[in-house]
């Protein structure tokens, strides 16, 4: 028998600019900052799960680009 539960953590990224600024002028620098930060966020999630000693976890994307979505499959250790 298998039991399952879905739990979603959704991160919404945004940057505000003054009315006289063009957000394209900065070359999406704010988004590049996120892309540099994202690996540390993912590492923290996996490290926490590993340290629990209770779960195994692996990335399980289902066709969506990793820039837009990362799915993590978590299972109880046996």
pLDDT digits (tens, 9 = 90+) for 21-44: 766 667 788 899 999 999 999 999
Most confident of 5-19, 22-36, 37-51, 64-78: 37-51
What does the pLDDT average to over 6-10?
92
Predicted model pTM: 0.78
Which residues constitute the domain of residue 42? 26-76
Question: What is the reported pLDDT for 22?
Answer: 67
pLDDT bucket at 67, cuts 50 / 70 / 90: confident
Q: How many domains does the structure of the chain reveal? A: 1
> CA 67 → CA 23, 49, 71, 75, 76, distances in Å?
19, 22, 12, 24, 28
Cα–Cα distance list, 16 to 6, 27, 35, 36, 74 (Å): 32, 14, 18, 19, 35
Has residue 16 got a pLDDT over 70? yes
């Amino acid at each position: 028998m298998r039991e399952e539960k879905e739990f979603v953590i959704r991160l919404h990224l945004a940057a505000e600019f003054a009315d006289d600024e063009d957000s394209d002028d900065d070359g999406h620098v704010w988004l590049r900052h996120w892309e540099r930060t994202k690996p540390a966020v993912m590492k923290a999630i996996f490290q926490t799960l590993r340290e629990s000693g209770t779960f195994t976890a692996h990335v399980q994307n289902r066709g969506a680009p990793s820039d837009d979505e990362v799915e993590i499959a978590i299972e109880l250790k046996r």
